[in-house]
Each structure stands twice: as C-alpha cells, then as structure tokens.
Amino acid sequence: MKMGFLGAGKMGEAMIAALIRAGAVRPGDVLASDVSPARRRHLAMKYRVRVGAENPLVARSARALFLAVKPQDLERVLAEIAPAMSRKRLVISIAAGRTTAWIEKRLPQARVIRVMPNLACAVGEGMSVCCLGRRAAPADARTVRRLLACFGRVLRLPERLFDAVTALSGSGPAFFAYVLDRMADAATREGIRRADALLLAEQTMLGAAKALLEGGADPLDFIRAVASPKGATAAGLAVLDASPIGDILGRAIRAAARRSKELARG
Ligand SMILES: NC(=O)c1ccc[n+]([C@@H]2O[C@H](COP(=O)([O-])OP(=O)(O)OC[C@H]3O[C@@H](n4cnc5c(N)ncnc54)[C@H](OP(=O)(O)O)[C@@H]3O)[C@@H](O)[C@H]2O)c1
C-alpha cells in the first residue's frame, strides 16, 4: 500500500522509520513532502523514500495519507490538497487539537482517523490513541491499528477524551522526564555522579512501567508489594504521602488538557 506523509519532521520521520523497520511498508512505497529542503535530503538519504515539496502530489498518490504538519499549518495544507482528494482516501491525522469534524469539513471525501501518538514512537514504545471520523469504516480502524502497532501500543477512545489523552500520553513523556531529572538530581546530592544517577533513574522508570504493564497489577498493590513495613521504600513513600504531590500532578494534567482544548479552538 502506498503511504503518504505530509510533513516529515520529528513525528513524520519516527513513523516512517518504524513502519519501514516493521516491514509494514517498503521504502519505495513511501511518499513524503516537507517544506524544508534539509529535511527532504535527510529523509531521502536515510530511508531511501521518495520525498518532494509538493503536497498535492503525495495526497493524490497515497492510499493512506498521514497528516504530520504542525496544527497551525494544517489549514493551509488541507486547502492545498483538497482538489487532489476527490477519491475517498484514508487520512490519518496526528495534529494535536484538530478534530475529525474539522478535517472532514475541509476534505469532504476523506475517511478520517485521528491519532494522538507520542514521541516514544521513535523507539518503538509509543502510546497512540485513535478515534474514527464519521466516514471511517471498521476496516479503516483495523488498518490504522495495525500500522500504529508498528511503533508501540494502541488504544481506541472516544474523541471527547482527546484533550485528556493529549495531557496524559501526548505530554506525558515530558512529565516523566521532569520527575526523572529531579530524582536523579536528588541522588547526586547523596553522592552519585549525574550520569550514573540518570541511568539508575531511567532504567528504574522503564523497569517499573514494564513490570506494571506486564504484571497487570494496580499501581497501589505494586507499591504495597515492594514496600516492606519500616523499610527504606516505606520511609520515602511516607514523605510522598504527606506532600501535595498528587494534587500537583493533577493540576499539571488539568493545565495540559485545558491548553489542548484552547489550541483546538485555534
Ligand atoms: N512531537 C510530539 O511529541 C507530538 C506528539 C503527538 C502529536 N504530535 C503532532 O505531530 C505533528 C507534527 O509534529 P512534529 O513534532 O513532528 O513537528 P515538526 O518536527 O515541526 O514537523 C513538521 C514538519 O512539517 C514541515 N512543514 C511545515 N509546513 C509544511 C507544509 N505546508 N507542507 C509540508 N510540510 C510542512 C515542517 O517544516 P518547517 O520546520 O521548516 O516548518 C516540519 O519539517 C503536529 O501536528 C503535532 O501536534 C506531535
């Protein structure tokens, strides 16, 4: 299947790389477009895909078309490709805040699926959430889930939850990196070198997430299982429990969701 990518920036490249790596598409079947000559050269050299500057050409040739430009550039790009989209193509948008209805209005023939991925796609551990537009069929959902599974996990949720999804899994990698940085910093004050502290914190975060995902335990049961009474973990947890950290994390998620809603209104 010929796949098109409008916008070959960080996310466009991460998806192209993952899909080729997984064998879901051959490099010769990937068509991408980007305004940046440097990006075009980079993609063509690194992945041997066809990259140009013409969005309508990509839109016309691809059976599945990924919209991977910034949300503020999407209106212009859709106006440019609309005349080339006379057939009922599958359009997969990853643009934050742009609803399926907003895209369908601008591409009246397209079968639209909206996806909120995250940057961990680049390392095959992405979390993508998808929802279907009015014209998308169950077969389209299956196609998109199969493609998204090439770079991580996939969940289908109602579109009304997308601002919350953006806050949790879209912005989440930055929030976890923030916590990780502060924990590593604290460990340097206990005498560990920063590089070692970062490795310890990163691998521990990865391991805890993996144990929770694969073990299926509730996080609170997991905590009870690892914290022996009066032990070191319990002493640290007592500080966390006595702090407003739950409230602070709640406010961070709420702020990100609110901002996502504002961005959607343009
Ligand atoms: N990054 C994330 O973690 C993340 C997570 C979830 C969803 N998303 C969504 O993914 C989309 C892409 O994000 P990104 O981080 O990959 O952005 P990015 O790195 O800026 O990539 C966008 C690319 O599109 C190019 N572009 C701009 N105008 C264009 C046009 N008219 N035609 C063709 N190409 C054009 C840009 O070139 P210039 O740089 O020269 O303008 C850039 O190379 C966004 O809509 C964002 O909301 C991103």
Question: What pLDDT, in 10s, does the model give residues 162-198?
Answer: 999 999 999 999 999 999 999 999 999 999 999 999 9
- The average pLDDT across 222-232 equals 94
Cβ atoms of 129 and 162 closer than 8 Å: yes
Which ligand 1 atom sits closest to the C-alpha of 77?
31
Q: How far is the CA of 48 from the centre of ligand 1 (A)?
A: 20
Residue range 207-221: mean pLDDT, rounded: 95
Q: Which band of pLDDT confidence, cut at 50, 70 and 90, is reported for residue 206?
A: very high
Query: Mean pLDDT across the chain, nearest whole number?
Result: 95
pLDDT of residue 68: 98
Q: Report the candidate in 100, 50, 49, 51 with the shortest Cα–Cα distance to residue 74.
A: 100
What pTM does this model have? 0.93
State in Å: Cα 146 to ligand 1 middle: 23
Task: Please give the Cα distance from 22 to 24 (Å, whole number).
Answer: 5
Nearest-10 Cα torsion for 96, 146, 4, 10: 50
Domains 3-162 and 170-264 share a fold: no
Q: What separation in Å is there between the alpha carbon of 13 and the centre of ligand 1?
A: 10
Strand partners, 129: 116, 155
> Residue ranges of the domains in the chain?
3-162, 170-264
The number of C-alpha atoms within 13 Å of 261 and in the hemisphere containing its C-beta is: 10
* Most ligand 1 atoms within 8 A of CB, residue of 16, 34, 166 to mutate: 34
Q: Is the CB of 7 under 6 A from ligand 1?
A: yes
Which atom belonging to ligand 1 lies closest to the Cα atom of 13?
16
Question: CATH for 3-162?
Answer: 3.40.50.720
CA pair distance 176, 185, nearest whole angstrom: 14
Helix (H, G, I), strand (E, B) or coil at 3: strand
Instruction: Say how far apart CA 130 and CA 207 lie, in whole Å.
Output: 26
Please tell me the predicted confidence (pLDDT) of residue 266.
67
Q: Is the CB of 97 under 6 A from ligand 1?
A: no
Q: Which atom of ligand 1 is nearest to the CA of 76?
A: 31
Taking domain 170-264, whether its CATH number is 1.10.3730.10 is answered by yes
Question: Kind of pairing, strands 111-116 and 126-132?
Answer: antiparallel
Condensed to tens digits (0 to 9), the pLDDT of residues 31-78 reads 999 999 999 999 999 999 999 999 999 999 999 999 999 999 999 999
